[in-house]
């Protein structure tokens, strides 16, 4: 009789490459594959420890001498929209939301290209073709949704968010939107509307990816009340920006073996034979 042993996830480290957030720095990521029957549980547990999903991979920054990147989430119970956020909601009252299964369309890709060309022409996704885009949307081993926002009158696609459903909230994996409506603050609006979706679903958190002090690309996340960041091995309420440093230090990050040893994992059961 053959017996199958439970397989715990294996963790790896990427080679250093230029940091997309802080100029002149190198980034490195700790990652593991997201696959099999336990994918949902693994995604939940590691998301609670600062990991993010990209297709069938979960990753977390593990730079050699910098720990500026911190996973961020909004505690909806402590969120109150600011005056400017209320104006953003009013400006986008003509948008209609539709949640679908993770399936890529030509309209999505056309909007994605316009968004990248306008805002991230030199970024890591700039050369992504339609097949790679489809893989980003569709290759998900967990419960995911594509949330589309269209103009009620023209039916034009205005914004899209690839969103994972976690046990305690929604994780906005990747969002893009029309670059032709700068006054509408569409990036902020998509987050505000996801807060509303989470309230309707009765879940407490919106996971936003990484907040990076010193990075203009990530600064907008600190504008949301109720923001928490994962630092020091736990979620903490975001305090004044001055408390957080993006300075380089050779002891910023624990050794890889120590990081992996401190990761909590779900219980993995052997498959039935």
Position 3 scores a pLDDT of 41
Domain with CATH 3.40.630.30 in the chain: 72-243
Q: Give residue 8's pLDDT.
A: 78
- pLDDT, position 67: 86
Q: Where are the alpha helices (DSSP H) in 93-168?
A: 106-119, 130-138
pLDDT at position 180: 93
Instruction: Give the whole-angstrom CA distance, residue 2 versus residue 83.
Output: 64
Helices (H), 147-247: 186-201
Q: Is residue 136 within 8 Å of 128, Cβ to Cβ?
A: yes
Q: What is the pLDDT of residue 151?
A: 97
Question: By C-alpha distance, which of 187, 212, 228 is closest to 79?
Answer: 228
User: For the domain 72-243, what is the CATH superfamily, name and number?
Assistant: Gcn5-related N-acetyltransferase (GNAT) (3.40.630.30)
Task: Provide Rg for the chain, Cα atoms.
Answer: 19
Task: Report helix, strand and coil shares of the chain as percent, to nearest 5.
Answer: 30, 25, 45
Exposed/middle/buried for 54, CB within 10 Å: 0-12, 13-18, 19+? middle
Query: At a CB cut-off of 8 Å and minimum separation 6, what does 68 contact?
Result: 21, 22, 212, 213, 214, 215, 244, 245, 246
* Tens-place pLDDT, residues 188-205: 999 999 999 999 999 999
Residue numbers in the chain where pLDDT is lower than 50? 1-6
Length of the chain equals 273
Residue 215 confidence (pLDDT): 80
CA distance 144 to 192: 19
Report the pLDDT value the prediction gives residue 192, as an integer from 0 to 100: 98
Three-state DSSP state, 25: coil
Burial class (CB in 10 A: 0-12, 13-18, 19+), 194: buried
Beta strand segments in the chain, E: 11-13, 17-18, 26-27, 29-33, 52-54, 57-61, 70-75, 95-100, 144-151, 157-166, 169-177, 205-211, 227-231, 234-237
* Digit-coded pLDDT (tens) for 138-163: 999 999 999 999 999 999 999 999 99
Which of 15, 42, 24, 23 lies closest to 143, judged by CA?
42
Q: What is the pLDDT of residue 128?
A: 86
């Amino acid at each position: 009789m053959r017996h199958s042993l439970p397989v715990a996830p294996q963790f790896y480290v990427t080679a250093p490459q230029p940091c997309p957030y802080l100029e002149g720095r190198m980034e490195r990521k700790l990652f593991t594959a997201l696959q099999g029957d336990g994918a949902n549980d693994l995604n939940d547990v590691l998301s609670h420890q600062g990991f993010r999903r990209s297709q069938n991979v979960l990753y977390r920054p593990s730079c050699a001498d910098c720990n500026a990147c911190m996973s961020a989430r909004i505690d909806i119970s402590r969120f109150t929209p600011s005056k400017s956020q209320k104006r953003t909601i009013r400006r986008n009252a003509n948008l209609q939301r539709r949640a679908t299964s993770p399936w890529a369309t030509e309209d999505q890709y056309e909007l994605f290209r316009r968004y990248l060309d306008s805002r991230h022409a030199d970024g890591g996704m700039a050369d992504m073709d339609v097949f790679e885009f489809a893989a980003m949307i569709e290759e998900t081993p967990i419960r995911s949704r594509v949330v589309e926002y269209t103009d009620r009158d023209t039916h034009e696609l205005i914004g899209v968010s690839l969103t994972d459903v976690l046990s305690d909230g929604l994780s906005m994996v990747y969002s893009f939107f029309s670059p032709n409506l700068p006054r509408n603050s569409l990036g902020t609006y998509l987050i505000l509307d996801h807060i509303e979706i989470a309230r309707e679903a009765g879940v407490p958190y919106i996971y936003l990816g990484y907040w990076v002090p010193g990075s203009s690309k990530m600064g907008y996340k600190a504008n949301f009340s109720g923001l928490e960041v994962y630092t020091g091995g736990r979620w903490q309420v975001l305090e004044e920006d001055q408390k957080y440093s993006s300075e380089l230090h050779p002891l910023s990050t624990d050794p890889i073996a120590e990081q992996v040893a401190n990761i909590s994992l779900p219980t993995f059961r052997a498959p039935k034979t």
